[in-house]
Amino acid sequence: MNKKVVIIGGGYGGLRAIEHLAMRADIDVTLIDKHHYHYLQTEAYGYIAGRFDLHDVVIDLQDWCSGFKKKVAFVNESALCVDFESQKVKICSGEIAYDYLIIATGAKTNFFSFIEGLREHSFGVKNLHRAHNFRVEFENLIYKKLQNEDDAQEINLAIGGAGLSGVEVAAEMANVVAVYKKTLGSRVNSIKIHLIDASKTILPGMSDFLIKSTHKRLESLGVNILTDAFIQKMDDTTIYFKNANPLQYHFMIFTGGIKASEFNETIDTQKNKISQFIPNEMLNIGGKKNVFAIGDCVEIRDAEQNILPPTAQTAERSAEYVADSIHKKIDKQPLKPFDAKVLGVFIALGGRWASGELFGFIKVKGYSAYLLKKAITYAYYIGLRLRINTGYKNRIKNP
């Protein structure tokens, strides 16, 4: 009898695990997700700035799963909780039994409660709905400039958090504004982009090369970089700092932190301060050797106990490891502890410009880095699209 693998969450980690598990004839996979789409969060910067369209950042999960020819079932419901003793995942319509369970529920924007008004007055990029709302607001702002409305009024757009997502959003928005200057002229000069972070530098924790090259690019785009800036509170018009003058703003995107999804709270096991699971060296949680957690919902460390960044790359490496572990368990082979490194980082910095590092010693910036990042993203995207096309045809043949 085939082994049943249930995966909760259709993000980068969940989909990569499916790709590796569905290759075996003796494994049946069920994917559970409350959304009917996979959201390419790494491309959010381009979507909210209007350079990418919706079809560039979402993938239909039903058609994608159908592309595996009945090896993968998709359940479009919320996972409510897990009964580890009976080995079942409870959903709204019933229960789904598993032999192996992979939790890949991701994370959400952590709108820090100690910053008064932050959640009420800012947008996040982890959620497609919030990203879409900001895109609409940004496009309306450009439209008003086109109509010559409030032509002289200064428009301040704020990005809270100067990590990877924050700098990409700031750069892309600033580049879009620069492009519009070619057609709208001085009308858009009053649109200012402000990148805010409490750290002493942008991209905290990254290499000097990435920090310096990114900083220089942002300055060339006219981004106002505010580091060592602690946001105290905000209302619908003003951001107040602990150590600087207030900033009048129109829109605010917050990328300053993440927190594991609510599903983590349904499981009584060790977690860190942002509710991520703390697994063992095999990425098991809850003391169960057949239950794994991958991606942003779990605190993942390498062999030297360094915490890996919550990126798509980390999610995919952990997914590949867990899929291989399940293969080995089925074949009764010994397992090795998880160990993965960050192979490279590429940062999209507006238009055809990027900065990146590979293997810690290959450093590129400018157009060449843009081409490398685009190639990596395109390879991932086209793989999903080919699977969707196959799945769509399968569904038409077997209605």
| 179 pLDDT higher than 90 | no
Asked if residue 166 and residue 202 are part of one domain, the reply reads: yes
Among residues 94, 88, 68, 76, the alpha carbon closest in space to that of 32 is found at 76
The three state secondary structure string of 163-207 is: CHHHHHHHHHHHHHHHHHHHHHHHHHCCEEEEEECCCCCCCCCCC
State the amino acid at position 148 in one-letter form. N
State the pairing for strand pair 224-226/191-196.
Answer: parallel
Query: Considering 300, 327, 342, which residue would you say is the last residue of a domain?
Result: 342
Residue 211 in any domain: the answer is yes
Examine the domain organization and report whether 215 and 272 are in the same domain.
no
Of 238, 236, 276, 274, residue with least CA distance to 257 = 274
| 374 is a domain residue | no
Q: What is the pLDDT of residues 259-294, one digit of tens each?
A: 999 999 999 999 999 999 999 999 999 999 999 999
CA distance 186 to 63: 46
State how far the Cα of 315 lies from the Cα of 322, in Å rounded to an integer: 11
Q: Say yes or no: 200 and 221 in one domain.
A: yes
Residues 176 and 277 both lie in one domain: no
Question: How many domains are contained in the chain?
Answer: 2
Same domain, 128 and 143: yes
Same domain, 222 and 314: no
How far from 229 is each of 28, 90, 100, 320, CA to CA, in Å? 51, 44, 46, 39
Helices 164-184/128-146 angle, 10° precision: 20
The tokens describing 396, both together, are 């038409």
Check residues 396 and 145 and name the one with the higher pLDDT.
145
Whole-number percent of the chain with pLDDT over 90: 69
Residue 241 and residue 138 in one domain: yes
Measure the CA–CA gap between 28 and 304, rounded to whole angstroms: 35
Query: Which residue blocks in the chain are alpha helix, DSSP H?
Result: 12-21, 44-48, 61-66, 118-121, 128-146, 164-184, 208-220, 312-330, 367-397
Residues 249 and 271 in one domain: no
Backbone angles phi, psi at 99, to 5 degrees: -95, -35
Cβ atoms of 82 and 212 within 8 Å: the answer is no
User: What are 303-327's pLDDT values in tens digits?
Assistant: 888 899 999 999 999 999 999 999 9
CB 54 within 8 A of CB 47: yes
| Residue 232 belongs to domain with CATH number | 3.50.50.60
What would the pLDDT profile of 88-116 be if each residue is shown by its tens digit? 999 999 999 999 999 999 999 999 999 99
* 369 falls within a domain: no
Q: Express each pLDDT in 13-36 by its tens digit.
A: 999 999 999 999 999 999 999 999
340-343: long-range contacts at Cβ-Cβ below 8 A with a sequence spacing of 24 or more? Answer: 340/302, 340/308, 340/314, 341/302, 342/308, 342/309, 342/311, 342/313, 342/314, 343/313
Per-residue model confidence (pLDDT) at position 184 = 74
- CA dist 187 and 190 (Å) reads 7
Residue 338 included in any domain: yes
Reported as a pLDDT band with limits 50, 70 and 90, residue 385 is confident
149 vs 172: CA distance, rounded Å: 24
- What pLDDT, in 10s, does the model give residues 339-361? 988 888 999 999 999 999 988 88
Three-class secondary structure of residue 16 per DSSP: helix
**According to the model, what pLDDT value does residue 204 have?**
93
Q: What is the pLDDT of residue 392?
A: 47
Handedness of CA 214, 220, 221, 226 (dihedral sign): positive
Q: Who's near 331: CB < 8 A, 6+ residues apart?
A: none
Are the C-beta atoms of residues 44 and 170 closer than 8 Å to each other? no
Residues 122 and 233 in one domain: yes
Residue 338 is predicted with a pLDDT of 95
Whether residue 209 is found in the same domain as residue 323: no
Burial 263-286 (b: 16+ CB within 10 A, else e): bbeebebebeeebbbebeeebbbb
Domain region containing 167: 118-254
